[in-house]
């Protein structure tokens, strides 16, 4: 499809993208009121360094990905500085809502709701909102990612996350966000210095999958579901392997856990973790494991509760 980039895209723009990308984003551009269907790898494509882009009041029905951040063939990066995305809705997405890469920073994504679909492609790992490379200092607020699933067949691991960050990302804040019905992690976070502030995750294979020390205010984990593949099912997967053997530190001010099935609350993998819980509301069947060791994972001294520990 032709490059429809402009400084401003206003009004109810109705687009059938026919599986192609549409807007090649420019610095200072404002895209407002776009309505599209059948989008390709990026309704909005960030293929060169840009700043101060706004994407507002967007609706997408079906396609591959809404926001793609991949440098053009003659560039080594496509940093996006000061991105603002708000009031977006998308459904039927094969790969994800947004991928943010390179050294993009100081962005805000708020009031976004997106749903995925069951995909079966060999390399189409689905993620609702994903950060990679060294992207840092983003705030993701009041966003909901649902149903990003990857069926890789029996005997294989099924990826598919609501929100994800990678090693090299830093200071990503998730505030009042929700992840539902994804085939792997609701929140799958490897970034450092990140914050989970009043977030909920439910009906994912692993509601929270945490690879770095993290602080959280209020977290709610509801009804993990085994969707498919070889991965574990639990409320929290703590991926504890660290250089030098230092323990991961997971601090949660208030933890709510509710389930009708006895999935482990904390699966701890590959090394030591320190888990500190303030107040809690834990309602699970009798005998539910508080901690399960996977691959030598441990919580030396046990989980620390500020008050009375739960009776499991």
Task: Report the distance separating Cα 89 and Cα 72, nearest Å.
Answer: 27
Listed in sequence order, the residues at least 6 apart from 57 whose beta carbon sits closer than 8 Å to its beta carbon are: 32, 33, 34, 86, 87, 88
Of 222, 198, 206, 69, whose CA–CA distance to 135 is shortest? Answer: 69
- 44-90 pLDDT tens trace: 999 999 999 999 999 999 999 999 999 999 899 999 999 999 999 99
| Overall residue count recorded for the chain in this entry | 312
Task: Report the distance separating Cα 246 and Cα 230, nearest Å.
Answer: 28
- 225-276 pLDDT tens trace: 998 889 899 999 999 877 567 899 999 999 999 999 999 999 999 999 999 9
Q: Name the band, by pLDDT with cuts 50, 70 and 90, for residue 1.
A: very low
- 214-228 pLDDT tens trace: 999 999 999 999 988
Q: How confident is the model at residue 204, as a pLDDT?
A: 98
Over range 193-203, report the average pLDDT. Answer: 98
Task: Report the distance separating Cα 133 and Cα 149, nearest Å.
Answer: 23
Full-model pTM: 0.95
Q: How confident is the model at residue 2, as a pLDDT?
A: 42
Q: Name the band, by pLDDT with cuts 50, 70 and 90, for residue 141.
A: very high
Over range 110-122, report the average pLDDT. Answer: 92
Over range 16-39, report the average pLDDT. Answer: 95
Task: Report the distance separating Cα 12 and Cα 18, nearest Å.
Answer: 18
Task: Say yes or no to pLDDT of 10 above 60.
Answer: no
Q: How confident is the model at residue 122, as a pLDDT?
A: 77
Task: Say yes or no to pLDDT of 7 above 50.
Answer: no
- According to DSSP, residue 310 is labeled P
Tokens in use for 250? 């997971």
- 281-303 pLDDT tens trace: 999 999 999 999 999 999 999 99
Average pLDDT over the chain, rounded to an integer: 94
């Amino acid at each position: 499809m032709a490059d429809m980039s402009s400084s401003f895209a206003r009004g109810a723009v109705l687009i059938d993208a026919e599986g192609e990308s549409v807007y090649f984003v420019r610095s200072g551009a404002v895209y407002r009121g776009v309505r599209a269907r059948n989008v390709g790898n990026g309704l909005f494509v960030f293929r060169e360094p840009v700043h101060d882009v706004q994407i507002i009041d967007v609706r997408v029905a079906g396609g591959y990905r809404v926001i793609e951040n991949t440098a053009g063939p003659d560039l080594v990066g496509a940093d996006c500085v000061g991105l603002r995305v708000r009031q977006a809705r998308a459904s039927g997405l094969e790969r994800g809502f947004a991928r943010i890469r390179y050294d993009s920073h100081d962005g805000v994504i708020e009031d976004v709701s997106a749903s995925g679909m069951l995909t079966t492609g060999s390399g189409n790992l689905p993620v609702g909102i994903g950060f990679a490379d060294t992207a840092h200092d983003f705030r993701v607020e009041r966003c909901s990612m649902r149903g990003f699933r990857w069926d890789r067949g029996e005997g294989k691991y099924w990826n598919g996350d609501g929100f994800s960050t990678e090693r090299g990302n830093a200071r990503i804040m998730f505030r009042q966000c929700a992840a539902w019905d994804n085939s792997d992690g609701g929140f799958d976070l490897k970034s450092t210095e990140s914050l989970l502030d009043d977030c909920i995750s439910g009906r994912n294979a692993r509601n929270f999958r945490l690879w770095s020390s993290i602080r959280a205010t209020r977290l709610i984990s509801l009804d993990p579901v085994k969707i498919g593949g070889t991965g574990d099912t639990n409320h929290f997967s703590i991926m504890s392997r660290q250089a030098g053997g230092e323990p991961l530190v997971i601090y949660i001010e208030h933890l709510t856990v509710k389930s009708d099935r006895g999935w482990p609350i904390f699966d701890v993998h590959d090394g030591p973790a320190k888990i500190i819980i303030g107040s809690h509301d834990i309602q699970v069947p009798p005998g539910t494991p508080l901690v399960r060791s996977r691959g030598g994972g441990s919580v030396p001294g046990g989980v620390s509760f500020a008050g009375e520990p739960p009776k499991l």
